[in-house]
Amino acid sequence: MLKNLAPAAAILVGGVFALGLITPPASAERAVPIPPPARDLPAAQGLQTAVFAGGCFWGMEAVFEQIKGVQSVVTGYAGGSADTATYAAVTTELTGHAEAIKITYDPSRVSYGTLLRVYFSVAHDPTQLNRQGPDTGPSYRSAIFPQNAQQRAVAAAYIGQLQKAKSFGAPIVTRLEAGQFYPAEGYHQDFFRRNPDHPYIVHWDKPKVAAFRAAYPALVR
């Protein structure tokens, strides 16, 4: 989303959507074909969590809510401190936070590696440094926040695998980071579903969700 977004989420300039004439990048319209991770976590009982950052959290949330085995997705901030985990503070780009999502999933139905595959291939562009599409700044960086050592090992191995295979036309800039996740304000939660006709959603996030559904039909709930 654009910085300084009001809670009502109006991004209009003179009655015309400021980004309406910008064509979404190819990565937002079709999934990049990448192999599944060679290393993954085994199926297990009990819910697990994954925390990913990759640009505006509205679209990230919308993609992962589509996946079978995902119980819930919460938008929020990760990488900074609790006292700066607000939209007003994060948009200053001085807090260390990234816009992120926390995914609660059933590892007996969908693996951490599968979530990583969707994350890299369609949920965002892992070659863009401190930006995604129209959004710029370190709060829009590509970052994974592993919740344990096993997740960190799988994520690091997959990044190495994709780099070696030259799966993208540029180096992957995704960072593995530590930091607590803090939920975002209520008006950011389920934004895609509650605002299907919002111009930002129409131009940037609906193509991303459509790309996921076309590339991974077996994963669609």
Which of the following is catalytic: 1, 32, 34, 56?
56
pLDDT of the residue at 29: 63
pLDDT of residue 3: 54
pLDDT tens per residue, range 104-131: 999 999 999 999 999 999 999 999 999 9
Residues 7-59: tens digit of each pLDDT: 334 333 222 233 333 444 434 468 999 999 999 999 999 999 999 999 999 99
Distance CA 85, CA 101 (A): 13
Active site residue 86: no
> CA of 174: how far to CAs of 68, 109, 125, 220, in Å?
25, 26, 9, 25
Task: Compute CA 195 distance to the chain's CA centroid, rounded to the nearest angstrom.
Answer: 18
Name the token pair of 180.
Answer: 């607590």
Length of the chain in residues, anyone?
221
Helix, coil or strand: residue 88: helix
Report the pLDDT value the prediction gives residue 19, as an integer from 0 to 100: 38
**pLDDT at residue 179 greater than cutoff 90:** yes
Average pLDDT of span 68-80: 98
Q: Say if residue 178's pLDDT is above 90.
A: yes
For the entire predicted model, the pTM comes to 0.89
DSSP E strand boundaries for 39-105? 48-54, 70-78, 98-105
CA atoms within 13 A on the CB side of 146: 16
Residue 194's alpha-carbon distances to 8, 66, 198, in angstroms, are 12, 15, 9
Number of Cβ atoms within 10 Å of the Cβ of 67: 20
Do 101 and 10 contact (CB within 8 A), yes or no? no
Residue 93 and residue 97: Cα distance in Å, rounded?
8
The pLDDT, as a whole number, for residue 30 is: 83
Residues 6+ apart with CB under 8 A from 22: 134, 203
What pLDDT does residue 2 have? 56
pLDDT at res. 64: 98
